[in-house]
Amino acid sequence: MAVRSIDGPRIGGRSSADRRRWVTLGIVLMSTVIVVLDNTVLNVAIPTILREFHTTVPSLEWVITGYALTFATFLIIGGRLGDLYGTRRMFIIGAAIFATGSLLAAVSWNVASLIVGEAIIEGVGASLMLPATLSLLSSTFQGRERATAFAAWGAAAGSAAGLGPVVGGFLTTDVSWRWSFGINVIIAPLAIVGALLFIAKTTPTARREPLDGPGAALIAAGMFLLVFALSEGGTYGWLRPIAAFKVAGREVWPSSSPISVVPVILVLALGVLGTFYRYERGRERRQQGPLFEFSLLGHPTFRYGLLTTVVLAMGQFGMGLALALFLQESLHLSALDNGLWMLPFGLLVLIGSPIGGRLAQHLTTVSVVRIGLVSQAIGLLTISTAISTHTTFLRLVPGLLFYGLGGGFSMSQLTNVVLSEIPHTKSGVASGTNTTMRQVGSALGIAVLGTVVTTQTINHAASRIAGTSLTPAVKRAAIARVHALGANFAPSPSNPPAVAKALSDAVAHAVATASRDAILFAAAVVTIGTLLSLLIPKVALADHPRAGDVPASDLTLPDVAVSEATIH
């Protein structure tokens, strides 16, 4: 039986769409790199920006926190807009907004302008771009090539996250931190031109209808409140207030309150998200075009894939925080050296992703994800055994290799699993949901493991200082500073050199011990993710079209035998 192509007219035995699908992949990867890089590249530049803008750390933290908040707030909305109005169109609009925000951030003159450019405008652009990149891959590639494309996407995202501190350290030290945004001003317009020239116009994959405005408002408010609560627990206190909560410089929740503002915001977030669920289910029953169809969770690959994504992101990002604190506060590495020590992780993600894609052609995609999760858990356990105040780079490398290789396997193919059964008409909102869950997991991991590191550092440091032969007055003052500063503790300038060294050594040992505890906790979290992955149906996802796509007999699948079975 002849196989009919849905890609367009054939040119020299292959369709024009076939020829440009790899250009589409290149554009998508380039765009993914700048979006993910923006999450990590600026961290190492904070001290430099502090000096240049004469500002404070809490003010500057809103640049990074605000980007994550805006990004998470609008991801599902951005994905749905792609379904309604075309992923190519949303990709181009998102890239244009992203470039505009980057330009403002690159020429910013104070913290406020930097926040508007980076946290708000770039965040909105990224929330339109990233779901579109996944949706474009999902619709452009089928069969085994689809596993390869997602492997490349995972490699780009993973390596950008791993190499972000290195790039940021280099730019800040040798060029200017402003080029962290200047790169985007160059690459985003190139992506727009590439999309106009090479990415085929995509007709809306959902019936054209107005965006679900109330649903969009509810999910935006709920996700903003949830990510804010998870991200700011360490700042304002999880239960008891440790700082006043201010809005526009005005105190709205004093530190003298009996309870912190964080649990109040968390309860409010859960209430808003619960309202969103009930509202969307009602629209779905009435067939009124909901923003998100909760019936999609009826697909086991989507449901359990999202759960695994949350848990995996929690372990990965929490580990990144703990390891960075250990390298900089215990081993006293510079930000650039920190990035260089993490280079094996980024390189192994880059290598592991295509290997995972190749394995998915011989094993099932779910099996590749499970192998990756096991490798990551082994890597975390190996890293934990290497942590001490005398840790060398070579001692840390084996764990980073296991962790990076496993990350390449799991990150590249887990997205493939999540989207495997989702119809084309819902791929945008499903992609946005996948990335949203990853953002929630990362915020939760940073919040939980950050609390573990802070609490354990204070406890271990106080115990070590109390056990020294220093005078009682020096001990009391040092312990008070430890409780106030945590891992950022520095001896008082009035301390004699010998006393300062004793205190610094005590805190360095405490940070190492606390980091080891946190990484062991991350290993347990990744192990839970491995167990959750056992709930995902073990089918050869890489070899089959998704439910809701055109029949297998209407597909052109190079080098893949078309199955006669109908996939439901």
Tell me: pLDDT of 474 over 90.
Answer: no
Fold type of domain 296-551: Growth Hormone; Chain: A; (1.20.1250)
Interacting residues of 362 by C-beta distance below 8 A, sequence separation 6+:
none
Give the per-residue pLDDT at 39.
Answer: 67
For the chain, what is the mean pLDDT?
78
Q: Among the listed ranges 39-48, 105-114, 452-461, 498-507, which one has the minimum average pLDDT value?
A: 39-48
| pLDDT one-digit tens code per residue, 286-314 | 888 788 888 888 888 888 888 888 888 88
**Ranked by mean pLDDT, which of 3-12, 178-187, 313-322 comes out on top?**
178-187
Helix 261-285 vs helix 213-236: crossing angle, to nearest 10: 160
Cα 62 from Cα 115, distance rounded (Å)? 7
- Pick from 535, 62, 484, 12: which is nearest to 243 by CA? 484
Q: What residues pair up with 10 in beta bridges, in sequence order? A: 15
Phi, psi of 247 (to 5 degrees): -125, 120
| pLDDT one-digit tens code per residue, 84-132 | 888 889 999 999 999 999 999 999 998 889 989 988 999 899 989 888 8
CA angle 190, 151, 422 (to 5 degrees): 95
Q: Where does the pLDDT of residue 243 fall: very low under 50, low under 70, confident under 90, or very high at 90 and above?
A: confident
Cα 15 from Cα 19, distance rounded (Å)? 7
| pLDDT one-digit tens code per residue, 316-364 | 777 777 887 788 778 888 767 777 788 888 788 878 878 887 887 788 8
Cα 205 from Cα 425, distance rounded (Å)? 4
Q: Where does the pLDDT of residue 272 fall: very low under 50, low under 70, confident under 90, or very high at 90 and above?
A: very high
For residue 319, with 0-12 CB atoms within 10 Å meaning exposed, 13-18 middle and 19 or more buried, which class applies?
buried
End-to-end CA distance of the chain: 23
Give the per-residue pLDDT at 399.
Answer: 92
What DSSP state is assigned to residue 545? P
Exposure pattern of 353-389 as b/e (b: 16+ CB <10 Å)?
Answer: bbbbbebbbebbbbbbbbbbbbbbbbbbbbbbebbbe
Q: What is the mean pLDDT of residues 210-233?
A: 83
HSE-CB at 306 with a 13 A cutoff on CA atoms is 20
The helix/strand/coil state of 238 is coil
Fold type of domain 15-206: Growth Hormone; Chain: A; (1.20.1250)
Residue 209 near residue 289 (C-beta atoms within 8 A): yes
**Ranked by mean pLDDT, which of 150-159, 328-337, 465-474 comes out on top?**
465-474
pTM, rounded to two decimals = 0.71
Tell me: pLDDT of 253 over 70.
Answer: yes
Exposure pattern of 89-110 as b/e (b: 16+ CB <10 Å)?
Answer: bbbbbbbbbbbbbbbbbbebee
Tell me: pLDDT of 57 over 70.
Answer: no
Cα 269 from Cα 266, distance rounded (Å)? 5
Which residue ranges make up each domain of the chain?
A: 15-206, 212-290, 296-551
Cα 387 from Cα 456, distance rounded (Å)? 15
Tell me: pLDDT of 171 over 70.
Answer: yes
| Same topology between domain 15-206 and domain 296-551 | yes
